[in-house]
Structure 1
Amino acid sequence: MSVLEQNFPVVQKKLSVDLKGNKTDIIICSYDDHFLVIATQIGTMGTILHARKDADISVHPTFSVSVIFGKRDEPMLVACARQLIEHISLLVCSSSGTSQPLVLSLGLKDHSAETLKGIVSAVTENRLW
């Protein structure tokens, strides 16, 4: 299994963090046209969200986040995706002029603000953008 992971053609990082007593596995992948982040405490994909920066119309950028699959009544999951796309947009746009969209999968036992801040922090510290 580890040989296959070493030869995987997509740039990726894997890490595990402890968030409020829950082991949280995080995988960050950088594709040519988007970023994929999977954060799970339950071993499955969970809720899948899509986040992107809207076209630059004004000085202040706007962002769109939509739930593709899963819990649509969890505003904290949407807030987590929005935080990550804002970080991506800030860093990627300053270097390349464009921002790539984000696909975010959150399979969490705990949807608290503290847990989601921990995920945002872990992903931004280990970013691939």
Structure 2
Amino acid sequence: MSHPPHLARSLSPGGIPTSLLVQLFSDRVSVTISQLGKVGTTLLATCDVSPTTERRSYDVTVLLGRRDDPLLSIYARQLIEKVKEVDPKPRRDVLLCISLKEEGRDSASFQELLNATLEMFVEML
């Protein structure tokens, strides 16, 4: 059975309409979270695993958009950590495009978006 290459959902964390798109590629997972109807800031989250200790190290780079918003980097870091817990491909990165309203930046709303993203990712594996 073939799995879909992408899934899209509409959510309303904290009562804010939010579109969520997850696309699965061989080398990365692309996640778009938008409350503003645009792509917003684009971040690349990567994970390296030490061959000797198997310890993971994470790196988040802002590719395009707001470089002065550490919260978006924190969200990208949380996302790759969760994806790596369930991803069978060890070298898959996470490309996150995110645009949030000011009132949609709370941790409860992001937790809801993170959970929905992981459910969609697992559904596509």
Which residue of the other structure, out of 72, 80, 83, is the alignment partner of 1:85? 80
- Cα distance in structure 1, aligned partners of 2:115 and 2:96: 14
1:18 aligned residue: 12
Larger relative contact order, structure 1 or 2 (CA cutoff 8 Å, min sep 6): 2
| Per-residue Cα deviation, 1:13-69 (whole angstroms, up to 9, x for no partner) | 000111111111000000121110001011100111000102425343110011111
TM-score (norm: length of structure 1):
0.82
User: Percent same amino acid at aligned positions?
Assistant: 26
Q: CA deviation at 1:99?
A: 2.9
TM-score (norm: length of structure 2):
0.84
- Cα distance in structure 1, aligned partners of 2:33 and 2:6: 13
2:106 aligned residue: 112
- Cα distance in structure 2, aligned partners of 1:121 and 1:75: 21
1:124 aligned residue: 118
The answer to whether the 8 A contact 1:77-1:111 is kept is no
Moved over 4 A (4+): none
**Unaligned stretches of 5+ residues in structure 2:** none
- 1:99 paired to 2:91: yes
Tell me the matched-pair count: 117
